[in-house]
């Protein structure tokens, strides 16, 4: 089994789970191993730039199943300020599909994103949950969302034209331990955990929040993401499907939860000119329930407790 992007946050957890099942795993990432989120010695670990066709061909040789997670991405601050870099992931997406086709890969999983959904359906905080059909007429997140939606179409057409078995999950805000927690690419749960941890350790109970804190999202814990991704790859349905929690919260409510876990209260300074993305986004899980009889189930409070404990340790360690 090939995990493209295995040195990333989701990839690292996925490789660990596949290995625990006794699978033979090749993990490939553009970063040197020293920059991988997790390195699993039992896997065949390869540093390679999959945006290059030769590298994609070499990485895919002999693979029966592919999890295509490789992408240049991050939280909203990164996505809004690096649209061209996000779009360039189309090279990786294209070359991996070509390589999988040429090597006769049996099943191919593509990790898409809720960023494919039309922006005009995400303008209110009391958002109607996004169902799969809401991706069209197309008006996705500029840059990152367009690349994801385009690659979804490529997967569909590679299946139609070349007989490939492709499966697509639209991830909704995955979080958990062993992820990005600082540096500009981190997503909201890790960023909030870091800010609260820093406040707890320093005693300066004051944090900055991007926007007014009323923007709403749902967040999926990493274990649900790993389980759901494997389930979708193995199943019969070729339709793109939401893979996300339907537990909607505002960023202010997210901060409330982390403060409760940390046992402190912080003064909140709102940075209204900071990147904050769409006003509201939630996952409609009707299709995944009807098709698979399953949906992500780990509560935000339980997932955040594990994530905060891990981020707190990273902050503490980074401060000597």
Q: Give which of 156, 181, 157 is closest to 167, Cα–Cα.
A: 156
Whole-angstrom distance, CA of residue 33 vs CA of residue 300: 31
The position carrying tokens 């189309």 is 90
Whole-angstrom distance, CA of residue 182 vs CA of residue 191: 7
Query: 225 and 296 in contact (C-beta within 8 Å)?
Result: yes
Could you give the angle at the alpha carbon of 150 between the alpha carbons of 148 and 151, nearest 5°?
A: 65
SS3 per-residue string spanning 266-284: CEEEEECCCCCCCCECCEC
Q: Which of 144, 171, 221, 312 is catalytic?
A: 144
- Known catalytic residue: 144? yes
CA atoms within 13 A on the CB side of 158: 28
Whole-angstrom distance, CA of residue 217 vs CA of residue 246: 9
Question: Where are any strands of DSSP class E within the chain?
Answer: 2-4, 26-29, 44-47, 65-68, 107-113, 166-171, 174-175, 206-210, 216-218, 220-221, 241-243, 248-250, 267-271
Give catalytic residue positions. 144
């Amino acid at each position: 089994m090939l995990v493209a992007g295995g040195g990333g946050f989701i990839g690292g957890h996925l490789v660990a789970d596949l290995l625990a099942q006794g699978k033979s795993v090749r993990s490939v990432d553009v970063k040197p191993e020293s920059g991988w989120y997790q390195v699993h010695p039992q896997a065949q670990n390869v540093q390679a730039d999959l945006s290059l066709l030769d590298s994609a061909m070499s990485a895919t040789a002999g693979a029966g199943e592919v999890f295509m997670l490789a992408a240049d991405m991050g939280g909203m601050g990164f996505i809004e300020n690096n649209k061209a870099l996000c779009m360039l992931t189309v090279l990786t997406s294209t070359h991996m599909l070509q390589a999988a086709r040429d090597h006769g890969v049996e099943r191919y999983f593509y990790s898409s994103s809720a960023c494919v959904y039309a922006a005009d359906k995400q303008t209110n905080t009391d958002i109607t949950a996004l169902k799969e059909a809401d991706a069209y007429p197309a008006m996705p997140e500029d840059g990152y969302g367009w690349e994801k939606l385009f690659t979804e179409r490529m997967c569909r057409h590679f299946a139609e034209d070349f007989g490939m078995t492709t499966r697509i999950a639209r991830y909704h805000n995955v979080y958990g331990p062993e992820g990005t927690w600082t540096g500009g690419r981190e997503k909201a749960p890790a960023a909030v955990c870091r800010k609260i941890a820093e406040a707890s350790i320093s005693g300066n109970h004051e944090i900055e929040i991007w926007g007014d804190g009323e923007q709403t999202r749902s967040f999926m814990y990493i274990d649900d993401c790993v389980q759901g991704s494997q389930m979708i790859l193995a199943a019969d349905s070729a339709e793109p499907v939401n893979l996300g929690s339907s537990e909607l919260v505002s960023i202010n409510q997210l901060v409330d939860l982390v403060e409760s876990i940390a046992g402190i209260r912080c003064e909140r300074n709102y940075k209204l000119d900071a990147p904050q993305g769409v006003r509201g986004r939630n996952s409609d899980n009707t299709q995944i329930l009807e098709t698979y009889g399953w949906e992500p189930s780990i509560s935000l409070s339980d997932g955040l407790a594990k994530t905060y404990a891990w981020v707190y340790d990273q902050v503490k360690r980074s401060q000597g």
